[in-house]
Structure 1
Amino acid sequence: MFNKFTTILQQAVEALAPDAPLHEDFVYHWKSITNFYIENTDDKTPVTDSNIPSHLKQMLQILIQEEAEREPGDTGPCMEYMLQHKLLETLHTLGKADCPPGMKQQVLIFFKNLLGKIKQPLLPHINVHRPVSRLVRVCGEVQAAPTETEEISFLCTLCARLKREPHLLHFFLQNNSTEIPNKPAASTNHIDSSETNLPSSSAKTSKRESYDLVDSLLNLCRSEDGRVAVKACEGLLLLVSMPHETAARATVQDTMLCPLLNTRLRTLFTSLPAALDPSDVDSVSAKWGLDSHSYAYNDARNFAGKRSLVSFLSWFDYCDQLIMEAYQDCSAYIARSIAKDFLNKTLLGPLLQADERAALTTTAVLTKLFSMVRSHALTCELVNFIVPNNTNLPEEGKETLWDTKKSELLSRLLERCDHFSDEISIVTLRLFETVLGLSNSIALDRLILKHLQHRAYHVKNPGNIVVQSDSEELEWDLEPGLDSAAPQTPPKPNKQFSTESLDGAGDASSSRAHIQRAVSCFLAAIPDSAKSTQANDDESGYDGYLREAHRMYKDVCAICCKFSWPKMNGKELEAAERCQPVAVYEEGPFLTMLLNKLSRVLSQPYGVNLVVTSIISRLCLIPHPLLHELFTDPLTPMRPKARGVYSVIKVIVEQISHRMAHVPNFKNRLLLARRKLASGGGFHDDDHNVSPTHKGLPMAANFGASAGVIASNDLDDHKTFLEGTIVVEEFCKELAAIVFVKHHALAAQSV
């Protein structure tokens, strides 16, 4: 109490006394602090009961005022006094000893304000950066320390200062050449440095850069106070993004940053419930930062394990953000460490095990990771995890246990796409759909394009020993009945697509005639007797497919424009007859699985069909000439036994024509099935990641009262067949719209 009264009295005297020169005032406050330690013998008195906080605050105000009164870059006498007499060294010593109790907090506040409010360059002075470096080492030493808030505030202020002056980072690096003798610099992270793309000198040196600033931030990342942990992560983001090669390399190689990222990923993942609903996993939205999600007891969106899932996904988002911000090749290093220590050692096991619930949950979580990832380096590692490059696998006898397991993963996932459990099939198919939707061409190249590069599916491939007929005759032979089918079911007459608006429609060699025939192939694929809508009905949905195809094709082109693919006009594509001869056309395991699933659309559940057709639609939208030729051009001359989307659809239509004759009152049953699908009775509202056009099935305009006389139990006997027929009908409309949109986009580019 007496000390507080003395402080108030002293402040009153200072207010009434005439203003002293700033230098004298500054020295006075400093000597008042030192006199406290000379006169005070009680080292247990809290610093808040002394005049020290007030004197430190006045010293800072004097330094700020002095700088404001002088020209930029001109050091005043107060600053000179502080530097020459090593005031910061003394304060650091007092703060480290925390004498009197609470002094550490006051020193941290003073250092933080000094670095944050003084604009002139301070860190180049040895009497500044040396005590600052020593104070950094004090931060994070004690877990749950009462000064955590001041520690992280000081560290983040220092990081922000270094962000503006990255050339000063070397003051905070120390060479420790004896700590890791004759070992790669990355051994502390359990990663072979030869796997990285960092400069070769970093792999040869035996020196280790001690980076106390990163170490202190990593310690505070473990704080139980969420605000402190988030601020520490922000500081790491600043450090890893600084354009300083040595500091960036030391951050990822010579500190525990990568082990911390992977350890927390592993801990949070293993804390997830063994069984999570895939729809719950897909519905969760998680971003790194302070937890802003509501976990109210009566919140309908809550489910068991949501908090754990949000924590895991949030930390993954932080890792992704860190990789995005990382300087130069450090992003690839961090991504590789996550691939090796988390994906291979933590995620791979549950994906391969026989426990269906664990495999289902892990696949759903992995799909969520693919949908969240944004950094290029981590995207590549995730794709390599799912679709490894078989040409770069280690030689036999040299591969590790993880290499062996990764080689099995793709085969296991493809098998699960045709699993007896529809839930597992749908989740696995959605995983592939999400992978193919990334802005990364690696998965597409390895799953599909590498099997199409020689155009072995084309009848003119030199490896095809079948006697070939004239190209024009062959083209029409491949489309039996096309001449008679097209007039009977013409494309829907509208302003966007009408026979009158096609110049040269009668010329078989014109591109417009070709595209008209291609669109007609899909629109006329299903006979009128098997359709639940008519082509001229306003509610047939074709206009909606055109709008959706235009939007989606624009988005896909924006993603694929940076890929070094041949142009869609075909001028860069080698003619089929000049391609490498291929005796036997192999679709590849993924395309075989996908076309097999499409061929079974009449016997598969509606949910499975939605995902299958959605994947194929996405592939049809991709602006690659090989995919366009095989998927969206029904007039492509195919060699025997080679399959395309249209050839599979024709086989399905034959099955429909055969089976519909055995379904009593087929037309009315079909219309009733469509009405149920349109009202949501045929699928669940939580079906995600499917083509939006398939979900909004429009109701037929010509529903009559007779449709309602079909009993529900009679309809259920043919439910799968009827729903499959409707899916094929809608899918053909969607494909026709995609062909039309791609043609007009190509025509606009050539203008």
Structure 2
Amino acid sequence: MISGLQVALKNAIDVIAPPATPLEDFTYHWKQLMNFYVNHLSDRKASIESSGIPRHLDRLLEILLTEEKGEDSPGPCLEYLLQHRLLDLLATLAGAETPPGMRLVCLSFLRKLLGRSKHPLLHHVSVYAPVHRLIALCNGHLASPIEAEEIQFLLTLCFLVCKYPPLTRIVNDASSVHRENSVPKEDTEKIDAQRITYVPARKRNNSNPLFEPLNTQAVMLINPNLFATDSEGKLSHRPERYATDKNTSTQDILDKIPKTTRNTSTRSSGSISLKDVESISESSSPVSQKLPQDPLPVTNQVVSNTNDYGSSSQVPVSMASASYKVENKFQDPTNLRIDSDFASDNNMEYMKEHSKNHTFLEVPPVTENSKCFLVDALISYLNTADNTVRVRACEGIMVLASLDDSAFAHAVSRSDLPTVLSKRLEALYNSIPAHVDPNDVDEVDVTWGLDSPMWTNDNKFPGCRQVAAFFMWLDYCDQLIREAHLEVGEAIAKTITVSFFDKVITPALVDHHVVLITALLTKCLKEISSPLLSTEISHWLVGQHRDPELPNVWTTPILHRLIDNCCTESNDLTLETLKLFEEMIEKRNEHILHCLVLTYLITRGYYDNSAADSAIASWSDEEDEREREKKGTVDLSREQNHSRTLAPTNIHRIINCFLSLVPRQLQTDSDVNNYERYMADWEKQYSTVLTDCALLAWPLEAVTIDDSASSDSRPEADHCSARFYMGPFLTMILDKVSNIPNQRYEINLQLTVVISRLALLPHPYLHEFLLNPLLPLAPGTKSLFACLQRVVKQLVSDVPKTQDYKHILRSTRQRLLENCSQEPVKENILYDSVIITEEFCKELAAIAYVKYHRSM
């Protein structure tokens, strides 16, 4: 019974006062929003929460999004929003920041509208013009309490551009924001605030109809012809429900507005070149635009608006009429179109009459070298104190840099982005304290996102926060180069290498903090994974030239500086530099490996072809001849199981050479064949090495190249083998192997690690030079096995001089290998060297057998 009465009462009310249409509801809330600026003439600092503006904007957004449900074409509310330039006015109010907090709600409204709307709106001049102005307001160089909302707004634009790549130039073109540098920034801001909002000390300018009260009919000021009859081609409307002054009718309001003012067409100051927009739309954009051929001048007052970059632009305050009329009503969302009518004759006459008293807007031409407006805005937040905001800015930059647009990528590569990234990397590097322990650097494991652990706990090492910040930024730069467009990635990688590694790290390698710097460099090389940056770093480390160097001639200063650091009296520096060389080998970078060792070995100048037992130690003459015809360029990835160099028939003799090198009187392990315990680990590592090196196209076999035909033109070729030069790196390595009895255990251990990493590489020349003790060597050529023989000879001479040396050797072995809990024992370099040499020979034997087994 009660429900029936309620239904009947509702039906009766609907007959007497029909419910408002969405458009009526939309215009009502917009009018109520504008009423704040009419009714608060003396209260400029009123709270935005008390104004009701956020509530009305939320309702406007709700109406727009509800209107899209179930419809493929936009409804009248969206048409009204676009046709009457409401977003332009919101952008102006956001720039004036009146009431306080208006910028925040405007950014939120536009972000939600663009992000949630199913129609691509960014191509409309009534949308991208205010978007440009809001982008200019988002400046991370200045502290702002609304940084989070600003960066969310910019991120929304980034993802929209990613969704519609043809619109990239529209959103990122800074030349579309007209600037006028003749007006000082302070004066411009003052004029802007006066004209946008009411100032009690200033009389209202009644010539500006935007702020004419007109009995709260603020929505009428946007387009007085909105409520014209249907016969005039306008939308019908019922204003009675929304009129707050019952004594004033809509017709009275319309009569107060000059007819010429109602029909005047306006243009936004944020529009870009019409030719560019049309060409973009017709060529590749999912949206289609039809714009007027000639720009229409604006007859209303113009506000000088200053953006955050210190330049000014002219922004029309009066929105007295619409600049474009939506005719097709977006029947196809993928083929959006906006048509514009030219000004009528009356309007043109009105413009001519007032041209002397009014400023006209002109669309600046789009230049080829226009700045990336959106990218520049995101760059300004890279140094913010808010980590979340900074990460969001990094995400936006990565999205834009990865766009598959050659023109835009070219613009980004020439922007400030590469320099800013490098400068921040340098600043974070300079903030690392000098007292950081180099041994703690490798423990830092971070990524650039928000998923990295906090390195500010008390149990972390001193300076860990600065070290973590540096490597987080390096990780971001590395990932950005990996994901970015090729041209952008190359520009960033080149800039970081030149501006940071070359200009900052290079001179620091001779600094008194060189140990820490070397540890940081090792960690950098370990963390870098992008091919472009790895290539640039490899060229910085070993130079770009691939030809072998001459003895005592420096052509790669970084490499020679590192080699010199290995030969200093500082054990810590030697140890850290050897770790850096280990990481260089572990990168499996073909250029680094070639310039470091391979370029000196590929001539096989170390091999003595005149030796009588060459057929026994290496191959038979028939095999050499057969492989010489193949030119020794067999792909390892296809036929690696048939390499006779890696799997010689005399493998047992080779293994016995390594295992019997240390005499029994110095051996501390009773089981001579105990090398097998290393094989499982080396087998696993060798599988990884084969995978990494499969595409390097290394030769399959070590073959001596017959260059006798060229000996006439090069007389020195006859004596090439006698002057074999293994390069500065191998020379340093073998010199340090010979000095094992005089070096600390940590250095000897790291030295064996570096050699083991080299020996694992499946390169035939490197393999036989390091792992074939039976190889006939050219006169005067040093080898790894010969250096180990010299070490053992010295140990045999010095160790037995001590009484009870066997007991000391067993104790040393337990201390170094078995980690037995006992009282601290004074380090003895001589006895440590015995253990190191013994175990190193077992490792070499295990590596030789693993490579033999995998190459059969």
In the superposition, the TM-score normalised over structure 2's length comes to 0.67
Structure with the greater alpha carbon radius of gyration: 2
Letter in 1 for 2:750: V
Decide which of 427, 433, 443 is 1:273's aligned counterpart. Answer: 433
Is 1:741 aligned with 2:742? no
CA distance, structure 2, for counterparts of residue 35 and residue 228 of structure 1: 35
CA distance, structure 2, for counterparts of residue 510 and residue 426 of structure 1: 31
> Shift of residue 336 of structure 1?
0.9
Who is 1:564 aligned against? 697
CA distance, structure 2, for counterparts of residue 99 and residue 595 of structure 1: 75
Q: Would the alpha carbon gap of residues 433 and 511 (structure 1) be closer, same or farther in structure 2, given more than 3 Å must change?
A: closer
Q: Contact 1:566–1:624 (CA<8 Å) still a contact in 2? A: yes
Q: Contact 1:518–1:634 (CA<8 Å) still a contact in 2? A: yes
Letter in 2 for 1:267: A
Q: Contact 2:645–2:768 (CA<8 Å) still a contact in 1? A: no
> Shift of residue 454 of structure 1?
0.7
CA distance, structure 2, for counterparts of residue 661 and residue 141 of structure 1: 72
**Counterpart mapping for 1:326-725 below 5 A:** 326-353=484-511, 355=512, 358-390=513-545, 407-460=556-609, 467-472=610-615, 513-535=649-671, 540=674, 542-567=675-700, 570=701, 574-577=703-706, 581=717, 582-583=720-721, 584-680=723-819, 719-725=828-834
Q: Contact 1:339–1:382 (CA<8 Å) still a contact in 2? A: yes
Who is 2:423 aligned against? 263
CA distance, structure 2, for counterparts of residue 518 and residue 595 of structure 1: 20
Who is 2:22 aligned against? 22
CA distance, structure 2, for counterparts of residue 549 and residue 474 of structure 1: 25
Who is 2:228 aligned against? none
Who is 1:66 aligned against? 67
> Shift of residue 681 of structure 1?
8.1
Who is 2:114 aligned against? 115
Letter in 2 for 1:363: T
Q: Would the alpha carbon gap of residues 380 and 649 (structure 1) be closer, same or farther in structure 2, given more than 3 Å must change?
A: same
Q: Would the alpha carbon gap of residues 295 and 125 (structure 1) be closer, same or farther in structure 2, given more than 3 Å must change?
A: closer
Q: Would the alpha carbon gap of residues 19 and 654 (structure 1) be closer, same or farther in structure 2, given more than 3 Å must change?
A: farther
Q: Would the alpha carbon gap of residues 509 and 631 (structure 1) be closer, same or farther in structure 2, given more than 3 Å must change?
A: closer
Q: Would the alpha carbon gap of residues 421 and 156 (structure 1) be closer, same or farther in structure 2, given more than 3 Å must change?
A: same
Q: Secondary structure at the match of 2:371?
A: strand
In the superposition, the TM-score normalised over structure 1's length comes to 0.76
**More displaced stretch, 374-383 vs 588-597:** 374-383
Who is 1:5 aligned against? none
CA distance, structure 1, for counterparts of residue 127 and residue 706 of structure 2: 74
> Shift of residue 606 of structure 1?
0.5
Q: Would the alpha carbon gap of residues 391 and 438 (structure 1) be closer, same or farther in structure 2, given more than 3 Å must change?
A: closer
Letter in 2 for 1:302: F
CA distance, structure 2, for counterparts of residue 272 and residue 165 of structure 1: 42
> Shift of residue 118 of structure 1?
1.1
> Shift of residue 422 of structure 1?
0.9
> Shift of residue 293 of structure 1?
4.2
> Shift of residue 295 of structure 1?
5.4
Q: Contact 1:144–1:224 (CA<8 Å) still a contact in 2? A: no
Q: Would the alpha carbon gap of residues 534 and 578 (structure 1) be closer, same or farther in structure 2, given more than 3 Å must change?
A: farther
Is 1:208 aligned with 2:381? no
> Shift of residue 673 of structure 1?
0.9
Q: Would the alpha carbon gap of residues 250 and 640 (structure 1) be closer, same or farther in structure 2, given more than 3 Å must change?
A: same
Q: Secondary structure at the match of 1:526?
A: coil
Is 1:302 aligned with 2:461? yes
CA distance, structure 2, for counterparts of residue 449 and residue 471 of structure 1: 22
Q: Contact 1:416–1:425 (CA<8 Å) still a contact in 2? A: yes
Q: Would the alpha carbon gap of residues 70 and 291 (structure 1) be closer, same or farther in structure 2, given more than 3 Å must change?
A: closer
Letter in 1 for 2:536: E
Identity of aligned residues (%): 35
> Shift of residue 556 of structure 1?
1.5
Q: Secondary structure at the match of 2:442?
A: helix
Q: Contact 2:123–2:167 (CA<8 Å) still a contact in 1? A: yes
Q: Deviations for 1:563-586, whole angstroms, at most 9, x for unmatched residues?
A: 23223xx2xx54344588424100
Q: Contact 2:655–2:849 (CA<8 Å) still a contact in 1? A: yes
Q: Contact 1:89–1:127 (CA<8 Å) still a contact in 2? A: yes
Q: Secondary structure at the match of 1:208?
A: coil
CA distance, structure 2, for counterparts of residue 308 and residue 529 of structure 1: 52
CA distance, structure 2, for counterparts of residue 544 and residue 422 of structure 1: 30
CA distance, structure 2, for counterparts of residue 174 and residue 120 of structure 1: 22
> Shift of residue 657 of structure 1?
3.2
Question: When the two structures are aligned, how many residues end up with a matched partner?
Answer: 616
Is 1:99 aligned with 2:98? yes
CA distance, structure 1, for counterparts of residue 420 and residue 561 of structure 2: 31
CA distance, structure 1, for counterparts of residue 369 and residue 114 of structure 2: 28
Q: Secondary structure at the match of 2:681?
A: helix
Who is 1:487 aligned against? none
Q: Contact 2:94–2:102 (CA<8 Å) still a contact in 1? A: yes
Q: Contact 2:646–2:764 (CA<8 Å) still a contact in 1? A: no
Q: Deviations for 1:34-89, whole angstroms, at most 9, x for unmatched residues?
A: 23323332332122111211111111112222212213xx2222221211112211
CA distance, structure 1, for counterparts of residue 36 and residue 660 of structure 2: 96
Who is 1:689 aligned against? none
> Shift of residue 175 of structure 1?
7.4
Who is 1:167 aligned against? 166
CA distance, structure 1, for counterparts of residue 396 and residue 547 of structure 2: 37
**More displaced stretch, 284-293 vs 146-155:** 284-293
> Shift of residue 142 of structure 1?
6.1
**More displaced stretch, 339-348 vs 443-452:** 339-348
Q: Deviations for 1:69-122, whole angstroms, at most 9, x for unmatched residues?
A: 213xx2222221211112211211111121222111111001110121112221
CA distance, structure 2, for counterparts of residue 672 and residue 146 of structure 1: 66
Q: Contact 1:352–1:409 (CA<8 Å) still a contact in 2? A: no
Q: Deviations for 1:604-657, whole angstroms, at most 9, x for unmatched residues?
A: 110000111000000011111111111122232221222222232233233333
Q: Contact 1:348–1:406 (CA<8 Å) still a contact in 2? A: no
Is 1:240 aligned with 2:401? yes
Q: Contact 2:546–2:599 (CA<8 Å) still a contact in 1? A: no
CA distance, structure 2, for counterparts of residue 451 and residue 206 of structure 1: 52
CA distance, structure 2, for counterparts of residue 128 and residue 284 of structure 1: 46
Q: Contact 1:47–1:101 (CA<8 Å) still a contact in 2? A: yes
Q: Contact 1:176–1:207 (CA<8 Å) still a contact in 2? A: no
CA distance, structure 1, for counterparts of residue 489 and residue 555 of structure 2: 23
**More displaced stretch, 604-613 vs 28-37:** 28-37
Q: Contact 1:221–1:232 (CA<8 Å) still a contact in 2? A: yes
Who is 1:79 aligned against? 78
Q: Would the alpha carbon gap of residues 329 and 100 (structure 1) be closer, same or farther in structure 2, given more than 3 Å must change?
A: same
CA distance, structure 1, for counterparts of residue 19 and residue 846 of structure 2: 83
Q: Contact 1:320–1:373 (CA<8 Å) still a contact in 2? A: yes
Q: Deviations for 1:172-203, whole angstroms, at most 9, x for unmatched residues?
A: 24376999xxxxxxxxxxxxxxxxxxxxxxxx
CA distance, structure 2, for counterparts of residue 448 and residue 509 of structure 1: 18
Who is 1:35 aligned against? 35
Q: Contact 1:33–1:52 (CA<8 Å) still a contact in 2? A: yes
Who is 1:699 aligned against? none
Q: Secondary structure at the match of 1:535?
A: coil
CA distance, structure 1, for counterparts of residue 406 and residue 645 of structure 2: 60
Q: Deviations for 1:455-482, whole angstroms, at most 9, x for unmatched residues?
A: 100112xxxxxx5325346779xxxxxx
